[in-house]
Amino acid sequence: MNSRLGATLRDNGCDFRVWAPHANTVRVLLQGGTGWEHNGTTEKSVLTKSPDGYWTGFVAGVEAGQLYRYEINNDGEIFQRLDAAARDTIHSELTRGKPGSQNASIVVTNEPYPWSPFETPDFANFLIFQFHCGTFAGRNDHLDKEIATFPDLETKLSYIRELGFSAIAPLPVQEFAMNRSWGYNPAAFFALESAYGHPRELKHFVDEAHKHGLAVIFDVVYNHAGPGDNLLWQYDGYAQHSHGGDGGIYFEGGKWTDWGRGPAWHKPEVQDYFFQNAYMYFDDYNADGLRFDVTTQINGNHLREVLWMLHQRFRDKYFVAEHLPAHPWIATSGNFDATWFAKSHHEAQRALNGDRPIARVKSFLGWDGFGHSWNLVKYAMGSHDDVGDDKNGNAKDGLTNWDARHRYLIDQYGGRGNWHARAKCRLAWALNVAMPGTPMMFMGSECHMGSPTVAWGYWHDGYDDNGDHRFDWAIAGDPVGMEMRRLVTAANWVRWNNPALRSDTLIVTHEDYHNRVLAFKRWRDGNLVLIVVNLSETNFENHSYGVSTDHQFGRWSQILCTQDAEFGGWHGAGNAYYDPDTQADGWIYINLPKWSVVILRLH
């Protein structure tokens, strides 16, 4: 890593470092106050240029909280920029083209934070709850606010932990345009979203998460910048083509993405910029992992070099790619620990709709080509991409294309008022927890956050033509929501209490295509578990359904049935007080409710 970018406090002053190779001069401008005053008292200090295009300098007397900008002279054109690596800003608005802007970078303290003891989980022990910071609190709770902050989110940590999750994965927290966004339109990569809070508050939030036993995986977006407030665009005034079509030093020659010109990852300076950004999340915010957005839009050879350097410094941290479709290269050669596995959602949704259910479940059950089952992050109920909709319910032509529709899974089958929809969601999460892979759930799925309570049954970061789609705390604890929450908690603890479910083991023991029943077993250190999945409307009673155990002899006890009454099923649905023995033919005979997962453990 090159010297630290941005503003770095030390005794009696501050070091400044910025990359601006085409500038003739760079000065750092300093002010006090809470907003940039264009007629205010400004201290100006000249920085020194090195042969590699970086400008550096020490300014005495600078303290935490001071405002600063860079004044850049490019062949007589003089303009001001925020710091490309500022750890904090007043908000996302740029100085470029907005001469009246009062925005500025903020010098941040680098005093050590008193972190509480916490160990990042082993890679096999991640059980992830994904959420959007601005909408996970504030609607119909005691907070009653439009956009949640880091302190607000601290009030929800017990809720997540009590569900049995071991990690949280907030959507991006870097500064983005305006105050409301999913976060995938970065404006400033190092600064935090000002609507959520400031560095000290994020540190406190991470520390509180750790105190609750929750690891923190941050979401980083290195494949593109926002189309609006893009701090890096033409940063030092240089652009290869007229009108800045190539974007200047951070973008020229970069890959074209679905969202415009991507960063110039072929440049060592750009690689170092994103390496330092990733490093910041561990060094400043004590992160346990990073999730990289759309890695297929970044040159893999350049990306893996940055990942290699990160792994050398943070060997026990968890690096996850959104590499779709999933390919073993990302883990075997790309230096990531895991990748998202979108197939686990799309094929599960189709299977639960009756479309070749056994074949579809088998297609995402294992970890073919990957070294470990935890190399795949699976989310049968959908991630933010699958649940969220920013087109008034018509993303991907969803109003006419059910298969591509962006909805909470429960809404795909009739909404939270539909018993079959609830049963299918219970099945989906229990399968997700029991099959090989790292389970992940998006907020709201744990309490059937679908229509009619949430308009149109999709998540969005505020209001659209169909109402308010933020997480609704008024229903998180209603009777329907509590049934699903009890199921999620029970299923998660089945995973924790059975090492077999966190192992690299899998044998499919039973395939009944006629009745749409599948069974598979997993084992570890004397713990052996059999998972039976009924993807049909047929209800097998009186211990009448025979399941092959692959000649695993012994007595079995049920440890989960998704159709138990406490989860929304009925009394007597499963195998309570009944421990079947393996018969001479290698089969056991059990109750198997419709649309269920039954999990049994061998004594």
Residue 16 in any domain: the answer is yes
Boundary (domain end) residue, out of 57, 91, 106: 106
Size of the chain, expressed as the number of residues it contains: 603
Number of alpha carbons in the 13 Å side-chain half-sphere of residue 390:
8
In this structure, are 457 and 565 located in the same domain?
Answer: no
Question: Could you give the number of structural domains in the chain?
Answer: 3
Residue 410 in any domain: the answer is yes
d(CA 492, CA 484): 12
Find where tokens 């419709």 sit: 594
Pairing state between β 438-442 and 128-131: parallel
Q: What is the domain-level CATH number for residue 545?
A: 2.60.40.1180
Instruction: For residue 52, give both structure tokens.
Output: 């590699």
Reported as a single tens digit per residue, the pLDDT across 547-585 is 999 999 999 999 999 999 999 999 999 999 999 999 999
CB 423 within 8 A of CB 562: yes
In this structure, are 313 and 372 located in the same domain?
Answer: yes
State which amino acid sits at residue 219. Answer: D
In this structure, are 506 and 369 located in the same domain?
Answer: no
In this structure, are 404 and 441 located in the same domain?
Answer: yes
In this structure, are 300 and 447 located in the same domain?
Answer: yes
CB 509 within 8 A of CB 530: yes
Q: What is the domain-level CATH number for residue 65?
A: 2.60.40.10
Residue 245 in any domain: the answer is no
Q: What is the domain-level CATH number for residue 157?
A: 3.20.20.80
Boundary (domain end) residue, out of 462, 483, 498: 498
Which parts of the chain register pLDDT below 50?
243
CB 450 within 8 A of CB 407: yes
Residue 308 in any domain: the answer is yes
State residue 244's pLDDT score: 52
Q: Which domain holds residue 22?
A: 6-106
Residue 555 in any domain: the answer is yes
Residue 509 in any domain: the answer is yes
d(CA 488, CA 591): 22
In this structure, are 179 and 299 located in the same domain?
Answer: yes
State residue 450's pLDDT score: 87
In this structure, are 490 and 511 located in the same domain?
Answer: no
154 phi, psi to nearest 5 deg: -60, -30
**DSSP-assigned letter for residue 456:** G
In this structure, are 535 and 568 located in the same domain?
Answer: yes
Considering Cα of 305, then 54, then 175, then 276, what sign does the dihedral take?
Answer: positive
- Residue 234's nearest CA partner among 77, 67, 6 is 77
In this structure, are 29 and 171 located in the same domain?
Answer: no
Boundary (domain end) residue, out of 450, 475, 498: 498
* Distance between start and end Cα atoms, the chain: 53
Residue 10 in any domain: the answer is yes
From residue 466, how far is each of 393, 405, 458, 459 by CA, in Å? 8, 16, 10, 11
Pairing state between β 128-131 and 167-170: parallel
* 5 CB-contact burial (10 Å; exposed 0-12 / middle 13-18 / buried 19+): buried
567 phi, psi to nearest 5 deg: -100, -5
In this structure, are 450 and 506 located in the same domain?
Answer: no
Residue 250 in any domain: the answer is no
State residue 311's pLDDT score: 95
State residue 456's pLDDT score: 87
State which amino acid sits at residue 482. Answer: M
In this structure, are 21 and 157 located in the same domain?
Answer: no
In this structure, are 588 and 479 located in the same domain?
Answer: no
